[in-house]
Every structure is written in structure tokens, then in C-alpha cells.
Structure 1
């Protein structure tokens, strides 16, 4: 994906991973020891390594000395460090009044990802939703917000679809598994429901979309699993990141053990699901059964 904001985020993540690797190579220094050497809080060092905070020029110079980085490698890291400090607003910056910090970080990861693996139980993936469907689920999910704020979030979802899938030079590779129940639930009323199913039939034919449905007959395979998403990046130096959904909100997961488990789980769900063609057939039957 070619977006200035995604490039910035990936630069920060890649730079942070490089610093973490240098720290561990430097006599296995702890975060606390590095923080003491820099004269700053431990949390600042942690956030820099996680790509959540920009590293100042002064701290960069200190870190290069602490880790005894050779001159040639310093030059390479200096270029990457400079890339982390660019100030170009992302497309979603105009929606800052309704986007949380967590959602903004997710948008940056999504914009930079090459592949998404997503499982949904009761609703459809955001990048596949029609405007009316998105309006209905957002209205329920954010009841404390006013109509204008809900409308803005729906606009953000629509822009995500355009930037990541519909109008992208290199579309996001979308691998989706949903339950049959997500097809049957009438979200936004009968008309919106049918419109959404028509849209699913159309967008599931997109070259970069692989949509599979777990049928009711395989309910035990999916009924007890919560929704989750894994984002994968073309740059092998950038680790996968996952997001899980619960009543408490979205949970970000980047621990390698969690990611291995989620990848295994997604493979199992894919095995339980119908093929893309069979899934399109069941979408069409669901769409036509009330006619």
C-alpha cells in the first residue's frame, strides 16, 4: 500500500525493532538500564521500540553511542530515523475528532498491510460493508455519539474501502471467514440486508478478496470463537499484528505466541468453511430465499 502515513508508521515500527535488536545485542541491556542511561522514563524507551513514539535526535545520538553502533550502520539507521520524523498528515487526520488513538493506530497498520486475515461471527468485515449496513452497525456500536459523529465514522469506513481495496494501485489481499449467521442477521432492515448481500456477491468476485462461509452444519467450529483480525506486511522485518474484539473493546496483539495461535486458528476456520464458490452460492440463496 502506498500511503504516506503507512510509510511513516512502518518506518517507526522498523526503526523500533532495529533499536530493540541493538539493545539485546549490547550485553542484553534492559529497558530500565537504557532509560537510566538516557535520563528518561522506561515507558519512553518502550514506546520508541514499539513504534508508538518518535525518537528525538538527541536520544538517537545517545543510543548509537550506548549500543556502540559502527559508523556505516549508524548512517543507515540515521536515514531510517529521519523517515520516522516526517510530518505528513494521513487521509484520516480530518476525522481526528471522532477517531480514537487506538483506531488511528489500526488505520495506519491497515494502510501499510499487504494481507488481512479476518474472522467475523455476527457482522460482516468492515471493508465489505455497504454504507447503509455500516450506518446501522455503527449506530448500535457507538450509541453515545451524535448523528454527525456516527456519520463521520461511516465515512471513514467508506474511505478505508476506497484506499485499501477498491481504488488502490495494489489492493489489500483480503482473506475473510464469516459464519452463516452473519449472512442471516438482518442489519438495518430487509432492504439494507438484501442490498448488503448483493454487494457481497459483487465484491467477493474481486481478485484480491477471498470470502468463505462457515455453514451452520459446522457451527461447533466457529460458534465459540470471538472475532479477530491479523494484518501481515510485505516487509518481512515488520511483524504481524492482530486485533481481537470483545465487549471491553479492541485488543492489540503482537506477541509471537499469540500470532502463531491465531494463524493456526484461522487455518482451522478456513478448513471448516465452504470454498469461495460454495460460499457465493450460499450468499445468493440467502439473498433470494425471501423473494
Structure 2
């Protein structure tokens, strides 16, 4: 992949999409057709095509024959296949004991993304949080975990910030819209609240960060929509992926219809929000008022 932040997950996703195009657009096979030919479960083919699993060398050879892939294209796919099987350890591998499979998948997508569009109602986006703020929200969100486990998750959030924004030659392009309530909630106490507002004023001037606030006067625009983010990738072979919040936890969305709806929602929220300069004024006013 051309994206310098490419990960093993992205290699698998790209390889899987290439196989799906061959199946659907070239041979017009169903997943069931392929599974029957390879004498395997339908779920295996589905997981290979979505990047959740890499096929065996035997299945790779069988698929190349089944799809009648010409030699030059087969060589290209062989390179993708090799990249998808490479045993690279991402930076978050050291935290496997506290990272769920869902969170690990999210980290893989985030590490490979070029752009994020995120909306938050009551909290500050993760990549903009101070350590103390992250400690407070993580302690509530993962109350069943021990203190050392919570500390590890806070470290992961700090490392995300470093890798995505501060210690990279190609920082993530961040577009954030937050409700004004997120500025007023005193997370972690008064001092932590003040430090977080200072961080927002500082990070909002970062060349890769566009931060906008929906004021209370536009509350009807913000109050009925839960938090979500959409990740986009510079590699055109990798589709957008979205993550939403629910009482059951984080939801992953990759259906094109869902993504179109979320993009429309984000444009609407952006239109309702203040400009970046006006948003900084609101943040500064909140900081000064509560100091």
C-alpha cells in the first residue's frame, strides 16, 4: 500500500477485496460456489474477503486456478498475499492482555487511515485527551478492570496520539465536531478540566486538526445523534469504515449505505457547528469562566 501507515490488517483487507472483485466481477461466483469448490465453510471465504483471516497457501493456489488469474496478475496477488501473511508486530501488540479483539481491529484501521471524521456529544475525542482526562473516562468506562489495566489502556491512548499526530511525517487528517456540552462536563475534577481545555486550545492549531463546536443554540442538531467516527484511507482499494457507540459497545459499520448516511450526518453537523476560530473562542471562554 502507498500509505506509510499501512498495517498487516490493511494488507489483509486489500488482499481480500482483490479476491472479492475476482469472484464477483470476473467470474460472477457466489461465496457458496467458491466454498463448495474448495470444500470449506462459507464463513471461511467471507472472513478471507473481509480481511479477518488469511487463506492457506493451498487455498490461495486453488483460488488463483478457480478464478483463472493470468500470470502477471497472479504475481501481483502473490505479493499482496505475502504481505497479508507477514508476521509483523504492531506497536499495540505489547498491550494484548488489555486490548479486546474489537479494539485491536480499530487500532489497525486507525493506524492505516489518512482521514478521520469524528463526532462526540459528551466527551473529548480520544486523540485530543490529556492523560488525566483519559484516566478519568477510562476508569468509568472500564470500571471492572484493575488499576494497572486501566493505566495500560491510558498508555495505549497516549501512544495513539503520538503515532497519529505528533511523531509521524504524515499525521492523520482529523475533522472533529463536538457538542458544547463536552466542554462543560468537568471530567476528572476542576484541574483536569482546565488542563483539557488548554490542550484543546493548543491542539486546535495543529495543521492536521479541524475542531468545531456545536453551540447550545443549535442543540437540536447535536442532541439526537450518538457519537461516531468514519475512517478514510488513501488507498482506493480500502473502503471507508465507521465506528459507532451503543449501550452494547462499539459497532463497526462498513455497509456503503450506512457510510453514505454517516457522511451526510457529519456534513450536517459541520454546517451546524461554529468555525474553528469561533470554536476556539468558546473553548477559551469556558476555560476562563471556570478558572
Structure 2 counterpart of 1:257: 257
Alignment of 1:102-121 (within 5 A): 102-121=102-121
Structure 2 counterpart of 1:273: 273
Q: Deviations over 1:130-164 (max 9, x none)?
A: 00000000000001100000000000000000000
Q: Secondary structure at the match of 1:238?
A: coil
Q: Deviations over 1:230-276 (max 9, x none)?
A: 00000111100000001100000001111010000000000000000
Alignment of 1:84-123 (within 5 A): 84-123=84-123
What's the TM-score once normalised by structure 1's chain length? 0.98
Structure 2 counterpart of 1:39: 39
Shift of 1:7: 2.9
**In 1, Cα distance between equivalents of 2:167 and 2:99:** 22
**In 2, Cα distance between equivalents of 1:210 and 1:26:** 42
Alignment of 1:108-187 (within 5 A): 108-187=108-187
Give the stretch that moved more between structures: 69-78 or 189-198.
69-78
**In 1, Cα distance between equivalents of 2:174 and 2:162:** 14
Q: Secondary structure at the match of 1:174?
A: strand
CA RMSD of aligned residues (A): 0.9
Q: Secondary structure at the match of 1:289?
A: helix
Shift of 1:26: 4.3
**In 2, Cα distance between equivalents of 1:33 and 1:162:** 46
Give the stretch that moved more between structures: 23-32 or 216-225.
23-32
Q: Secondary structure at the match of 1:177?
A: strand
Shift of 1:290: 2.5
What's the TM-score once normalised by structure 2's chain length? 0.98
After superposing on structure 2, the runs of 4+ consecutive aligned residues of structure 1 that deviate more than 3 Å are none
Q: Is the 8 A contact 2:242 2:259 kept in 1?
A: yes
Structure 1 counterpart of 2:218: 218
Indicate yes or no: 2:275 matched with 1:284: no
Unaligned ranges ≥5, structure 2: none
